[in-house]
Structure 1
């Protein structure tokens, strides 16, 4: 083996190592960018345990909103990882790319009939002066919500047929005058915002991440 051969092989190994390192760096950057772009909804216990005051970098530090649910309104406030809010009924929301206007939002005053909707029954309601309707359906192996406002249907497939469902809250959370829903399906909780929704089928805006002890 000649010295030139050894130098060539060493250079090739070095180049391969640099390529692998660059690939790993790009993957890490892409993973961080993906986390920053993902929508999150956390319960208060998880927020306090993993985000508030934490420096581990697992969760994004900015761009958060705090939702505090009341009987007749939902308070929407901008917040960050320094918020050590101690209300158990608060949610912490991050929805990149969706404009959510902070403020106190009137919520639909929930009745037992609406909170526990009968399947395949259409509910026609009012949120302030805004008419809207919804139907929870259990068909084709799935449980779905069809929410109607501004003359359009917005469909969300959220669970399996036969799972229990509850409407936790209806309010104009994002500030576009249309109703937004927080619903339970089975063991999961979903946020359905109107601002990013399109007529037809939609994915839920966010799915609740909860501390184990609170579920």
Structure 2
């Protein structure tokens, strides 16, 4: 009597690669790096954190020293343009493979950040460099944010932490909640702090090109290894 040996089932294409939660946590670290570059190196403007940018725009409009209305408006407009492109991309690709969609978007972000790094290395003192870096990095962040929003992974927006911190406190056991998502939320906060600290150190000691290159490499790696599963 013959017996059949069961073949191991091959994992679905969506499951191949790194889960989206660690991918988004790594992108949160990248956001800290990007905002360190923009705020410390591009004239007190954010290109990832638009909540901070709106506040900065108010400071600049009131004439507070050290802030620029043109820089901030450039960042906001470029971010919104990137979000529009990200939204249209989501409509086109979002019904298919999440893995392919995430990887293509991350590849586009990596290319934009790499272009920013090239500009920072080639023309660090050019007047147009500041506006170019603000526009390109903000566009990349808008593209990413639209994608992350449509992917719908809870608690990790990759660029802002207000609701993450609120959930961490309000849903904790001390706040009367189950505390079930505390590790994920805490990891997002840590990732942002680490990215900002690393970015600040690189900007202060090595200029803008190196931290932008680091972000391009990190996002490029994520574009290769990301899966479509949470």
- Which TM-score tier does this pair reach, normalised by the shorter chain? under 0.3
Q: Which has the larger radius of gyration?
A: 1
- TM-score, with structure 1 as normaliser: 0.25
Query: Which one scores higher on RCO, CA 8 angstroms, separation ≥ 6?
Result: 2
Larger strand percent? 1
Larger helix percent? 2
- TM-score, with structure 2 as normaliser: 0.24
